[in-house]
């Protein structure tokens, strides 16, 4: 099965390839990091979700918040050091790729603010 990479965000053409840690568009020479694209991981063949320390996350893992996070549309804050159990990886909007239940209810979080417990 061939790897498919995202279309170039600058010119929109789909003739892109991975070069090291970047995705490259040969048509307009635009380069961007693979971490932001959800491009397939060369080891597993699927998009890998990694925590703030670069450790791979999987469904069911427990994680800990590494910073206080304000809850959008609320005055509530998720506190640094809060442990969240049984996460679920999703293809979220704007990089929100972890679905979980917190003390404030169900939320989508970005994996960059989490570390594996």
For the domain that residue 80 is a member of, what is the CATH number? 2.30.30.40
Q: Which two tokens stand for residue 24?
A: 């490259």
Q: For residues 28 and 36, what is the distance between their CA atoms, to the nearest angstrom? A: 19
Total number of domains in the chain:
2
Q: State the residue range of the domain holding 25.
A: 1-48
Summarize the confidence of residues 37-64 as an average pLDDT: 74
Is pLDDT of 65 > 80? Answer: yes
CATH number of the domain within which 40 lies: 2.20.25.10
pLDDT digits 0-9 by tens, 69-111: 999 888 999 999 999 999 999 987 788 899 999 989 999 999 9
Answering whether pTM is above 0.75, one says no
CB 88 within 8 A of CB 98: yes
Task: Establish if 29 belongs to a structural domain.
Answer: yes
Q: What confidence tier does 16 reach under pLDDT thresholds 50, 70, 90?
A: confident
């Amino acid at each position: 099965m061939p790897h498919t990479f995202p279309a170039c965000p600058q010119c929109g053409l789909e003739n892109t390839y991975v070069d090291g840690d970047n995705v490259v568009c040969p048509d307009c020479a635009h380069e961007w990091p693979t971490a932001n694209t959800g491009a397939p991981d060369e080891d597993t063949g699927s998009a890998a979700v990694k925590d703030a320390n670069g450790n791979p996350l999987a469904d069911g893992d427990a994680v800990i918040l590494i910073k206080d996070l304000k809850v959008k549309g609320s005055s509530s804050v998720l506190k640094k050091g809060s442990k969240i159990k049984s996460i679920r990886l999703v293809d979220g909007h704007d990089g929100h790729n972890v679905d979980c239940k917190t003390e404030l209810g169900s939320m989508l979080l970005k994996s960059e603010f989490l570390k594996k417990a």
